[in-house]
Amino acid sequence: MSATEPYHADHLAWMGLALDEARLALKTDDVPIGAVVLGPDGGVLGSGRNEREAHGDPTAHAEVVAIRQAAVSLRERAQAAGGSGDGWRLEDCTLVVTLEPCAMCAGAIVLARIPRVVFGAWDEKAGAAGSVFDILRERRLNHWVEVYAGVREEECAALLREFFSSHRVPPPEHRPPA
How far is residue 62's CA from residue 88's CA, in Å, rounded to a whole number? 17
Res 151 pLDDT > 90:
yes
pLDDT at 9 (0 to 100): 87
State the catalytic residue, choosing from 63, 76, 124, 154: 63
More confident residue, 8 or 23: 23
Residue 93 assigned ligand-binding role: no
Residue 143 assigned ligand-binding role: no
Question: Model's pTM, two decimal places?
Answer: 0.89
pLDDT at 147 (0 to 100): 97
8 Å CB contact between 35 and 47: yes
User: What is the phi/psi pair of residue 157, to 5°?
Assistant: -65, -40
Q: Does the annotation mark 91 as catalytic?
A: no
Residue 105 assigned ligand-binding role: yes
Res 5 pLDDT > 70:
no
* pLDDT, tens digit, 9 for 90 and up, residues 67-99: 999 999 999 988 888 877 676 899 999 999 999
How far is residue 61's CA from residue 124's CA, in Å, rounded to a whole number? 17
Q: From the DSSP assignment, how many helices (H) and strands (E) are in the chain? A: 5, 5
* pLDDT, tens digit, 9 for 90 and up, residues 47-63: 999 999 999 999 999 99
* pLDDT, tens digit, 9 for 90 and up, residues 23-36: 999 999 999 999 99
How far is residue 10's CA from residue 137's CA, in Å, rounded to a whole number? 22
pLDDT at 129 (0 to 100): 97
